[in-house]
Chains A and B, each alone.
Chain A
Amino acid sequence: MELSTSILLTIALAPLAGCLLAGFLGRQIGRAGAHSATILGLVISCALSFYVLYQIAFAGAPAYNHDLYTWFEIGRLHASVGFMVDRLTAMMMVVVTFVSLLVHVYTIGYMADDPGYQRFFSYISLFTFSMLMLVMANNFLQLFFGWEAVGLVSYLLIGFWFKRPTAIFANLKAFLVNRVGDFGFLLGIAAVLYFLGTLDYATAFAAAPTLAGKTLAITQGTHWDAATVICILLFIGAMGKSAQVPLHVWLPDSMEGPTPISALIHAATMVTAGIFMVARMSPIFELSQGALSFVMVIGATGALFTGLIGIVQNDIKRVVAYSTLSQLGYMTVALGVSAYAGAVFHLMTHAFFKALLFLGAGSVIIAMHHEQDMRYMGGLRKYMPVTWITMWIGSLALVAVPFTSGFYSKDAIIEAVGESHRWGSGYAYFCVMAGAFVTALYTFRQMYLTFHGKERFTVVEHHGHGHHDHDDHGHHKPGELAHAPHESPWVVTLPLVLLAIPSLLVGFFTVGSMLFGGWFGTAIHVDEANNVLGEMGAHFEGAVGMALHGFWSVPFGLVLLAFAIQTYIYLFNPALAGRIKSALKPLWTVLDRKYWVDDVYFALFARGGVKLGRLFWKAGDAAVVDGVLVNGSARLVDRVAAGVRRLQSGYLYHYAFAMIVGLILLLGGYWLIGQ
């Protein structure tokens, strides 16, 4: 039985209704009204998404693909708004609505004292709507709509605390860097229309094989392969949205936003839109080995080099942010070796454990009265056991300890890269392997600094200052707390627990079907020649076997090594960390300055852009056009008039003289012509 349109519409529109209620009537319905309305919308949306997944995956419902209404129709070009729901989409819908629902609940606790409470709920519901429109799209136009709409909400949420200079710098930066990606993405869509004559997915994918042999004339003599041009342009969009090198610079700064959105938008869902998009476009990407190599190299570079930065971060959220960049790199590498299912599988497991890690970090931040610097933490495990345990679960999944979800997805990616023979796969293999070691280094460091070792904060009791205020951190020196840290309320810990469960288990139960069982069906297309996952699947002997085998693999050896190193340093010899830092000072500086990429961009594009603008304005508009041409001609008229005016002297003999000269000239002229 086919899915009903009204169910799909409800899934998309329920969060939008919540957003409008909380946004426009926030004052009338109050705080409780705002969170009830938005959470109700999300509950409906999430429940129906599970229903849709069930229908598609188990009850045998065919993939849904229908237009809702015509956006415009010009000639043979038909642009519409519609839904396409197959297994890939259904899985994304469940991930998006599930994580979003938990984040909504978590927000009740996290934002309890914030004056922008209703606005925040309105934004995150708007985000959920936009993200659903993105994943449910059945055409490029709507994809772009969702793509930019999530960018807008991200802009609004990074700048949620709009009084902070750093926040409004970060949100502008995020929007503009994303726009650089969208610039490529839009051109990619234009290329799709040019070569395939349609914006509709199904038609475009069906026509994709006709791209073979077509070229695009770049100059008279240069012709580029059509599929490669399309794929690279589309992928530039993914580089912006999914924060791939060199457009990764916005994501760490996006941590200026409140933690719930770091979890929802900048870890679990929005940033994975690029990964989803490439997987969705697999029928086109499969046509270009060159573009896939490009994807792989970009992803591998990000996986290793952004992870390295995570090792030197002291802000608990920034560690998780760099970890996200690195994991997005892993997903991208998987796309690059045609292991689309592996990328999407890692996307799913990562959504759970990374949302968990972010929300856990947020729980720590609440307990520390909005202190984010890990140098002033330590020993928190006894104050907040639920956060401590759930974060360890998330961390184990992140470093890919066998049997956790992260293990199945990440190990498969590393192996798939090893199997690939595509140009650049050697480099990529090195990066993902070394990346496993780096991941373990920063993860264990973070856990030890936060929860273990000695307490590096002191509790300073204030007398006669009875009320509890989360924003009182401003009155304290770093490391001084007004109250002892304590476990967060249930609205915060419940989402942690609910995310810890899939972080542990979802991989074990789904690896067989999703990764090796062709679960995605026709949603993902892989050429036989490129099918690394298929090769791996041939000797897949069940989830248990894979995990047991994983204990003897190189990546797990690296994890153990990192564990040993960090345990020794942070539990037994804390002074060593400082000594290592000073011994490797140049390397530390390189990482601390983030390879100077941000500085170069700022000097080149921000300052350079303003300088160029001034030059154009002053030299072009003011000096040449207005100065010379416009006011210049006005002055010329003025001068000529002044000169001519001098002739009008009023003396009769001047005029008589002029007449005589004129007459002579006239007669002379006639005489000359007459000759």
Chain B
Amino acid sequence: MFNHLLSLLIWLPIVGAVPVLLAGSSRPNAARWLALLFMVLTFAASLFLLPRYDAAAGGLQLVESHVWIASLGVHYGLAVDGISVALILLTTFVGILVVVGAWEVIQNRPHQYMAAMLVLEGLMIGVFCATDALLFYVFFEAMLIPMFILIGVWGGPRRVYATLKFFIYTFFGSVFMLIGLLYLYHKAGTFDLHALAALPLSLKEQSWLFFAFLIAFAIKVPMVPVHTWLPDAHVEAPTGGSVVLAAVMLKVGAYGFLRFTLPIVPDAAAHYVWLIVVLSLVAVVYIGYVALVQEDMKKLVAYSSVAHMGFVTLGIFVGYLLVRDAGNVDAAKLGMQGAMVQMISHGFVSGAMFSCIGVMYDRLHTRLIKDYGGVINVMPWFGFFYVLFAMANCGLPGTSGFVGEFMVILASFSANPWIALFAAFTLIIGAAYTLWMVKRVLWGEVGNAHVAEMKDINGRETFVLAAFAALVLLIGIWPEPLVHLMDSSVAQLVQQLGTHKI
């Protein structure tokens, strides 16, 4: 079994979707319990990654490779490094919470909802394992389908607009990646990522490829100015869809940068690094202001996701300035590690924020800030979690939200103090938009008669929020285990930053 652990992780939830689907709408509870069972099994299996993956050695491990399409030399190739392991654990962990979170909430065809979630989980794990570019592309694209269905079927009133916008936006981006991959195949005769990394390319070729990858991954992350699908998708998506979207799917974009841009087109990336840095800082400052004036809580958190993902792209790419211009490898590692920690942390924090909004939405069926007020009076335990996650969203030390941002700001100061200045602006604007929302939703007198009738969180909701809270605090108080897991992989990425192909 351990020889095919990665395959197991990918296919267990996908195969598990079949019995869940077969349970049918007549036996919703059977579907729910089966879905939970497969989520728990997948999570349990993913825990085996920790002893099996040797963090000290680094590199790609647990390798699986089978010929898939012999005539094209396409392989079913899987392997993981420390970063993939962390992201897979994040995925399987969030998977359980999403199923528990949707338990009674999804009444309309719960078996299909649960099945879509299981398929989605398997495909996302596939993205994080693939070592063959075409296989990556297949998972990357296939992922859209269950999410398209989740938003389109269980979404809000404008779900059709949102789901089409989401699908076409991201599909548009990935077409460019496909063209880029075909060009690379034409040059190298393989889709193997390791071979592509070794392929010499001129700066002109690299530049074209860089932009092809950039469009695909920038939309996925999303980076400014191609972020506008995200607020719409989040607003219309059911709570579980939002949680998965924010917690895991956005990471796929950043992960793409790590697996394609950094190893394949390092010189072009170094050449255009300022573009990425500036776009990341725009995400922090400009999107911060946009988030400030949102009237819909989900939109607000969606915009704050864009701002937080700005730290991920900044942390990754500022390394080029550090390694190539300043020769400061340690600072580059700090920034890269910061980006990685920020990815994981954002998974927990945004997942938790969307879960909180879901808890309120289930009671009042509105997401507008003005429909709330004084929620703490009737839901004190909920208030505790909400404030905790809000503080994590503002990057308070002691929560996971702080760790990544802290590392990235420290690293970017070493590259250029101005970058750090703009990045650190998140301390002010992030607190402003988050806590202003908290003020209007949570504090104050009970806002209206509907709020007065809200019941505090039940055991199931407490479980979900407490699980998120535990990890937010754990990573905030002791990030070293997570950092250590990814350390040698990060070192390898930083080495790639300095590799010249021309």
B289–A616 touching, CB < 8 Å:
yes
Residue numbers in B under 8 Å from A596 (CB-CB): none
Q: Is B435 an interface residue (CB 8 A)?
A: yes
How many chain A residues sit at the interface, stated as a range, is 35 or more
In the bound complex, how far is the Cα of B431 from the Cα of A149, in angstroms?
A: 14
A75–B329 touching, CB < 8 Å:
yes
B377–A163 touching, CB < 8 Å:
yes
Q: Using an 8 Å CB-CB cutoff, how does the interface string of A611-630 with B read, 1 for contact, 0 for none?
A: 01110110011001110011
Q: Is B74 an interface residue (CB 8 A)?
A: no
Residue numbers in A under 8 Å from B406 (CB-CB): 141, 144, 186
Shortest C-beta distance, A106 to chain B (Å), equals: 25
A187–B413 touching, CB < 8 Å:
yes
Q: Which residue from chain B places its CB closest to the CB of A197 in the assembled complex?
A: B330
Q: Using an 8 Å CB-CB cutoff, how does the interface string of A50-79 with B read, 1 for contact, 0 for none?
A: 000000000000000000011111111100
In the bound complex, how far is the Cα of B165 from the Cα of A74, in angstroms?
A: 41
B432–A176 touching, CB < 8 Å:
yes
A187–B424 touching, CB < 8 Å:
yes
The 6 closest A-B pairs by CB, nearest first: A75-B330, A190-B413, A613-B293, A145-B397, A613-B289, A613-B292
Shortest C-beta distance, B231 to chain A (Å), equals: 8
In the bound complex, how far is the Cα of B126 from the Cα of A296, in angstroms?
A: 60
- 21 contacting pairs across A/B (C-beta < 8 A): A73-B483, A74-B334, A74-B407, A74-B490, A141-B406, A144-B397, A152-B396, A162-B444, A169-B439, A179-B432, A180-B428, A187-B417, A187-B420, A189-B410, A190-B413, A190-B417, A191-B417, A609-B289, A610-B293, A625-B225, A625-B227
Q: Is B479 an interface residue (CB 8 A)?
A: yes
B443–A74 touching, CB < 8 Å:
no
Q: Is B421 an interface residue (CB 8 A)?
A: yes
Which of the listed residues B291, B376, B396 has the most CB atoms from chain A within 10 Å of its own CB?
B396
Say whether, besides A163-B374, A190-B409, A613-B293, A172 and B483 are in contact (CB < 8 Å): no
Which of the listed residues B289, B374, B487 has the most CB atoms from chain A within 10 Å of its own CB?
B289
Shortest C-beta distance, A244 to chain B (Å), equals: 17
B293–A614 touching, CB < 8 Å:
yes
B292–A74 touching, CB < 8 Å:
no
Residue numbers in A under 8 Å from B293 (CB-CB): 610, 613-614, 617
How many chain B residues sit at the interface, stated as a range, is 35 or more
Q: Is A165 an interface residue (CB 8 A)?
A: yes
A183–B334 touching, CB < 8 Å:
no
Q: Is A175 an interface residue (CB 8 A)?
A: yes
| Other-chain residue from B387, B398, B429, B480 in contact with A72 (beta carbon distance below 8 A) | B480
Spell out B's residues near A (CB within 8 Å).
Answer: 165, 168-169, 225-229, 286, 289-294, 329-331, 333-334, 337, 374, 376-377, 387, 391, 396-398, 402-403, 406-407, 409-410, 413-414, 417, 420-421, 424-425, 427-429, 431-432, 435-436, 439, 442-445, 478-480, 483-484, 487, 490
| Other-chain residue from A72, A168, A179, A617 in contact with B427 (beta carbon distance below 8 A) | A179
| Other-chain residue from B169, B427, B480 in contact with A71 (beta carbon distance below 8 A) | B480
B290–A616 touching, CB < 8 Å:
yes
In the bound complex, how far is the Cα of B446 from the Cα of A163, in angstroms?
A: 8
In the bound complex, how far is the Cα of B232 from the Cα of A621, in angstroms?
A: 12
A70–B396 touching, CB < 8 Å:
no
Q: Is A216 an interface residue (CB 8 A)?
A: yes
Interface of B is mostly: helix
Q: Which residue from chain B places its CB closest to the CB of A142 in the assembled complex?
A: B397
Q: Is A182 an interface residue (CB 8 A)?
A: yes
In the bound complex, how far is the Cα of B8 from the Cα of A88, in angstroms?
A: 58
Residue numbers in A under 8 Å from B436 (CB-CB): 172
In the bound complex, how far is the Cα of B484 from the Cα of A70, in angstroms?
A: 11
Say whether, besides A187-B413, A191-B413, A74 and B428 are in contact (CB < 8 Å): no
B444–A194 touching, CB < 8 Å:
no
Spell out A's residues near B (CB within 8 Å).
Answer: 69-77, 141, 144-145, 147-149, 152, 155-156, 159, 162-163, 165, 168-169, 172, 175-176, 179-180, 182-183, 186-187, 189-191, 193-194, 216, 218, 609-610, 612-614, 616-617, 620-621, 624-626, 629-630, 634
Residue numbers in A under 8 Å from B377 (CB-CB): 163
Residue numbers in A under 8 Å from B432 (CB-CB): 176, 179, 609
Shortest C-beta distance, B454 to chain A (Å), equals: 16
Shortest C-beta distance, A40 to chain B (Å), equals: 24
Shortest C-beta distance, B20 to chain A (Å), equals: 35
Shortest C-beta distance, A654 to chain B (Å), equals: 32
Residue numbers in B under 8 Å from A141 (CB-CB): 397, 406
| Other-chain residue from B410, B421, B439 in contact with A193 (beta carbon distance below 8 A) | B410
| Other-chain residue from A72, A175, A610 in contact with B435 (beta carbon distance below 8 A) | A175
Residue numbers in B under 8 Å from A617 (CB-CB): 289-290, 293-294
A148–B483 touching, CB < 8 Å:
no
B431–A72 touching, CB < 8 Å:
no
Residue numbers in A under 8 Å from B487 (CB-CB): 73-74
A162–B480 touching, CB < 8 Å:
no
Residue numbers in B under 8 Å from A175 (CB-CB): 431, 435
Q: Which residue from chain A places its CB closest to the CB of B483 in the assembled complex?
A: A72
Say whether, besides A187-B421, A616-B286, A72 and B292 are in contact (CB < 8 Å): no
In the bound complex, how far is the Cα of B407 from the Cα of A176, in angstroms?
A: 22
Say whether, besides A182-B427, A193-B413, A616-B286, A77 and B330 are in contact (CB < 8 Å): yes
Shortest C-beta distance, B137 to chain A (Å), equals: 24
Which of the listed residues B398, B406, B427 has the most CB atoms from chain A within 10 Å of its own CB?
B427
In the bound complex, how far is the Cα of B445 from the Cα of A165, in angstroms?
A: 8
Say whether, besides A165-B444, A187-B420, A630 and B397 are in contact (CB < 8 Å): no
Shortest C-beta distance, B283 to chain A (Å), equals: 12
B413–A74 touching, CB < 8 Å:
no
Residue numbers in A under 8 Å from B331 (CB-CB): 194
Residue numbers in B under 8 Å from A621 (CB-CB): 228, 290
B483–A149 touching, CB < 8 Å:
no
Say whether, besides A172-B439, A190-B420, A630-B169, A613 and B290 are in contact (CB < 8 Å): yes
In the bound complex, how far is the Cα of B490 from the Cα of A377, in angstroms?
A: 67
Say whether, besides A77-B334, A168-B439, A162 and B289 are in contact (CB < 8 Å): no
Residue numbers in A under 8 Å from B490 (CB-CB): 74
Shortest C-beta distance, A471 to chain B (Å), equals: 15
Shortest C-beta distance, A589 to chain B (Å), equals: 31
In the bound complex, how far is the Cα of B428 from the Cα of A69, in angstroms?
A: 30
Q: Which residue from chain A places its CB closest to the CB of B415 in the assembled complex?
A: A194
Residue numbers in B under 8 Å from A71 (CB-CB): 478-480
Say whether, besides A74-B334, A75-B330, A183 and B444 are in contact (CB < 8 Å): no
B169–A148 touching, CB < 8 Å:
no
In the bound complex, how far is the Cα of B419 from the Cα of A194, in angstroms?
A: 14
| Other-chain residue from A145, A625, A634 in contact with B398 (beta carbon distance below 8 A) | A145
B428–A183 touching, CB < 8 Å:
yes
Say whether, besides A186-B427, A613-B289, A621-B290, A72 and B479 are in contact (CB < 8 Å): yes
Residue numbers in A under 8 Å from B292 (CB-CB): 609-610, 613
Residue numbers in B under 8 Å from A626 (CB-CB): 228
Residue numbers in A under 8 Å from B169 (CB-CB): 630
A176–B424 touching, CB < 8 Å:
no
B427–A620 touching, CB < 8 Å:
no
Q: Which residue from chain B places its CB closest to the CB of A610 in the assembled complex?
A: B293
Residue numbers in B under 8 Å from A613 (CB-CB): 289-293
Say whether, besides A72-B480, A145-B398, A616-B289, A625 and B228 are in contact (CB < 8 Å): yes
Residue numbers in A under 8 Å from B420 (CB-CB): 187, 190
Q: Which residue from chain A places its CB closest to the CB of B332 in the assembled complex?
A: A75
Shortest C-beta distance, A354 to chain B (Å), equals: 28
Which of the listed residues B291, B334, B376 has the most CB atoms from chain A within 10 Å of its own CB?
B334
Q: Which residue from chain A places its CB closest to the CB of B403 in the assembled complex?
A: A72
Say whether, besides A148-B397, A152-B396, A168 and B443 are in contact (CB < 8 Å): yes
Residue numbers in A under 8 Å from B290 (CB-CB): 613, 616-617, 620-621
Seed contacts A162-B374, A179-B431, A183-B424; 10 additional CB < 8 Å A-B pairs: A72-B337, A72-B483, A73-B487, A74-B333, A148-B397, A183-B427, A187-B409, A187-B421, A625-B227, A629-B225
